[in-house]
Amino acid sequence: MSRMEEQDQVDRPLELATFAGGCFWCMVTPFEQLPGIVRVVSGYTGGHTENPTYQEVCAETTGHAEAVQITFDPELFPYEKLLQLFWRQIDPTDADGQFHDRGSSYRPAIFYHNEEQRKLAEASRNDLELSKRFNRPIVTEIVPAGPFYPAEEYHQGYHHKNPLRYKMYRKGSGRDAFIATHWNTDKDKEERKKKLTPLQYEVTQNNATERPFQNEFWDHHEEGIYVDIVSGEPLFSSRNKFDSGCGWPSFTQPLVNGHIVEKQDLSHLMVRTEVRSLEADSHLGHVFTDGPAPDGLRYCINSAALRFVPKSEMEQAGYGAYLPALE
């Protein structure tokens, strides 16, 4: 667990967000480890039956959709960012189910809890439509939130309880293949190519590795945070940076675990664990188990994948919520 996640919950108002995006098992993992997310509950909503069971919902007799209800701190993770992440998990052009799961209980929807959420949700849907990312109309409904019924206990945190079955189901559902096809596309890469230096582009988009001891942050000691060069999502803190002697910036842990995705890397006749950013899917580097105690982890990261935000500029740059991680 990162230092950011360990800090005490600040006593300020929390909000609810409710999304349907097909199988609720798959809609928990994108949100649960992000800063400001207090809890994610799988359940049923949008129908007419009180306290429905999983079997009843799957039988399409209740009008309910499988959904997740998120309790979040809007100061740490605004509703707009939840919407951005939601759209990247679903097929917004399919109102009759999601991927290989068919039926109204798998329909995508945003259930808004107040007028501000409605306006933001409709604006985000309009932006997605105008982006022309999809060649069919956006049909995801935006409707008022009603009663939410938590699903049976065995559905809660299903990916933790049954990780192998979850991974097999998720891959077989077609969800990940759809996301890979419609996000981080060649068009996205072309746009990034205009904004990044050649080295930044090769590292983040083509999995290149920069030279050791000849990069921007390997010997950098200023207080602040390191964010994704593409998306700006917070990744690492200077508090967790250490000199590993490898010639690249090294960290003992991420600033927020949920912003880092680990993947098996079999390239160069080696078995390694690659780390990528969640939002931009940027190649960052690798994580090894030869780091310092207590966890023994060494996140070996390319400087070209990072942008540094000094502590003195974090508030103005919109990263004020992460200042406690430097204390």
Catalytic sites, residue numbers: 23, 300
Partners of residue 149 on adjacent β-strands: 44
- Provide CB contacts within 8 A for 87, sequence distance 6+: 124, 128
Q: In one letter, which amino acid is 247?
A: G
- The residues that bridge with 17 in the sheet, in sequence order, are 70
**Nearest CA among 68, 1, 81 for reference residue 40:** 68
Element (H, E) at 263: strand 260-265
- 3-state SS, residue 124: helix
Distance CA 216, CA 200 (A): 12
CA distance 144 to 312: 41
Going from the C-alpha of 231 to that of each of 124, 162, 222, 255, the distances in angstroms are 17, 32, 22, 15
Q: Tokens at residue 179, please?
A: 């996301």
Q: What are phi and psi of 284, to 5 degrees?
A: -105, -45
DSSP at 211: P
Pairwise CA distance, residues 280 & 259, whole Å: 10
